[in-house]
Amino acid sequence: MTTGAAVMSCRDVSVRYGASVALHDMSLDMHRGEMIGVLGANGAGKSTFVNALAGWSRGAAAVSGEISLLGRSIARVKPHVRFRSGVALVSEGKNVFGRVSVSDHFRLIRIPAPEDTRFRVTADEIFELFPRLAERRSHLGGQLSGGERQMLALACALLSCPRVLLLDEPSIGLAPMIVTELLQTVRRLVDRGLPVLLVEQNAEAALKVVDRVVLLETGRKVLEGGREVAGDSRIQDAYLGKRKE
């Protein structure tokens, strides 16, 4: 259930790489207890969007528009400062160090002071959420499977006490059962209040857990709505394999 004012918002966010515009005038509000799915084909601008929210880009991106966290503008704030303020981005398990053990990953996270009102998960809770990580706590990041690396990246983001979690394609390369488990774990965190923006190619898996969906086509939001948008022909045709030839 969503409550209160938006935790994170963006208004008219556009991203250009040189002369080409990868994202056009994107606006969105994220509330407590809400999970929003961002769907779209390859190259639709999904990663560009979440990266812009977190302050990252893979090249020389020019980002315009307004981005705010708890009502304060962060549009011109550096990515590491956005992270410290509570904007956690997890991109395809890339946030894992190959030569650092699972337990030492957790020790590396700077945990905000207890008086700071943020979403908190302890290391013990992490091991309850991800029993696999508990079994592999002494393994190095490089020794983990793709799914375990995703779990570790997500665990580290959670330990940092995020105000909002941005997940870029967590299902990539994972077996369907692991995807279901991972998304259900994320859903439980959302139900405890954490707002989550989930970029997913796997629309079927995403639609089972999200509250709201945004569909991007060539950098533009072309559809936004509740789970009922699963019935929209644009989603049925392109993402749920129900295209009629």
Ligand X SMILES: Nc1ncnc2c1ncn2[C@@H]1O[C@H](COP(=O)(O)OP(=O)(O)OP(=O)(O)O)[C@@H](O)[C@H]1O
Q: Which of 1, 5, 12, 43 binds ligand X (CB under 6 A)?
A: 43
x-or-dash pattern for ligand X, window 167-196, by CB under 6 A? ------------------------------
Nearest alpha-carbon partner for 85 in 195, 8, 137: 8
Residue placing its CB nearer to ligand X in the complex, 59 or 114: 59
Among 26, 44, 87, 197, binds ligand X (CB under 6 A): 44
Query: How near is the Cβ of 27 to ligand X at its closest, in Å?
Result: 17
| Contact call for residue 14 and ligand X (CB under 6 A) | no
Q: Which residues pair with 214 in a beta bridge?
A: 38, 224
Q: Is residue 46 close enough to count as binding ligand X by CB under 6 A?
A: yes
Q: How do beta strands 212-217 and 220-226 pair?
A: antiparallel
Neighbouring C-beta atoms of residue 242, cutoff 10 Å: 10
Residue 99: which H helix or E strand, with range?
A: none
For ligand X, the binding residue among 22, 67, 156, 215 (CB under 6 A) is 22
201 near ligand X, rule: CB under 6 A:
yes
Q: Which of 214, 162, 202 is nearest to 13 (CA)?
A: 214
CA separation for the pair 25, 38 (Å, rounded): 15
Q: Which residues bind ligand X (CB under 6 A)?
A: 17, 22, 40, 42-48, 58-59, 201
